[in-house]
Structure 1
Amino acid sequence: MSLGSLEVYSETHTPSLPLSLKSGSLTQDAVKANFAMFFAKLGLNSTGTSPATGVERFIFVLGGELTLDVVGENAPVQLTYNDYAYLPPGQEHSLSTSSEASLLVFERRYAGQVFRLRKLVPQTPAYDFNIHIMDFSPGEHLNVKEMHYNQHGLLLLAGKGIYRLNEDWHAVQAGDVIWMAPYVPQWYAALGTQPTRYLIYKDTTLDPLETPWLGQGAAASACGCAARSCNAA
């Protein structure tokens, strides 16, 4: 279980995507959504239980107060405005109120981490890029096809696999180098019988609104992806 509380800010934020609200559900009409997002309004002396088996849950309190009782914890926890709690799959718990409470709830079936990630550079404002080591067992792959404004530089250190860059598929092996331009769809799967390890660079403080060449969008930058073998003769 993870608990916390956010600071209060005066700004208001408009969702970047339209949301459909029906019976409290914000993702009901989003056919491809792999999670549930909904409002829950708990009345006086309401109770709630754990989600279905294998489902993780995140609760954010929009108003009121409720009690979270987690099996195995020493004592129940009181959650009020701006407090939140993460409940991993299989963590039995109950919610109860002595007055009304309003919640925003996220639930999804736990997919797990498909790779091991080690960050080599501190995650502080003094550093404007990341260097990661990523390890995949044979057959493991990224759960999603990524696309973002960050650039990547990658060196495959061990193993082999298949890397998708835009609509192109590249067979890669240890010693191969890949550069990924902003907004290029990317995906990886480890093949063969040996684990895969690669080192990857990612810039983190690049402002997409103040970098003119990024404004060309995905179609233009799709030409800016490349895979090169350092093993080729």
Structure 2
Amino acid sequence: MSSRPVHNYYAPAGGHPPQTQLLTDRAVFTDAYAVIPKGVMRDIVTSALPHWENTRLWVLSRPLSGFAETFSQYIMEVSAGGGSERPESDPNAEGVLFVVEGEMTLTMAGQRHRMETGGYAFIPPGTTWQLRNETDTTVRFHWIRKAYEWVDGIEAPQPFVTNDNDVTPMEMPETEGRWTTTRFADPQDIRHDMHVNIVNFQPGGVIPFAETHVMEHGLYVLEGKAVYRLNQDWVEVEAGDYMWLRAFCPQACYAGGPGPFRYLLYKDVNRHMKLSPFGSR
């Protein structure tokens, strides 16, 4: 019998609310953070991409003045037979794919990978890849993109494919396992200029201080619920909600139970702070 953990990731299915529904929701957009609750991810706010067939997507983050600065994040929905032979148009873009529902085939640098729910792929800049849904059901996955920051004398990281179930979470110090992080890339590998991890809290687990640091964050709640501190506000969040945090925005949380609280976390790492255009003359 398999001992692999069972995870139930939230994935949006679209649809449209009835005219009788109240429009009040938890959506918030400030100059320090944003909350995009799962209830606003409807058919009317989907987008399409060139060279993708039978595909639509929800855009969670994009580079925009006063909003995300370093990355974009999509929830992709690829119907049966869909996919792309030319998925990425930017040769400088690196990417991470994370499957939240269904199954797909990723061909990367000539190698085929069958990616099931929980599947994770890192795609370096300039890599040739294709993606297909060869099943008869829909697949949904996150696609996080960043312009890779090259450093003289340092090569880009190598591509890899793994699964959430195959990576042992690392326990945060002095938490007795209540707070762990599933790290897909080696945190000591300076080649990586972004980390996309999964942060895990057992019921009642906390971030016990207001984290305030230079990293920009994108957080998609995969499972569970919590009360999350964003700047000076406490906000209730649950599976399917998305949060963006500007650099230096204070953050903390209490995991609310009854099950684990888990979120997919983007952050920019391992590079000098850009001085231009502020330092240019």
Give the alignment's TM-score, normalised by structure 2. 0.36
Give the alignment's TM-score, normalised by structure 1. 0.43
Structure of greater Rg: 1
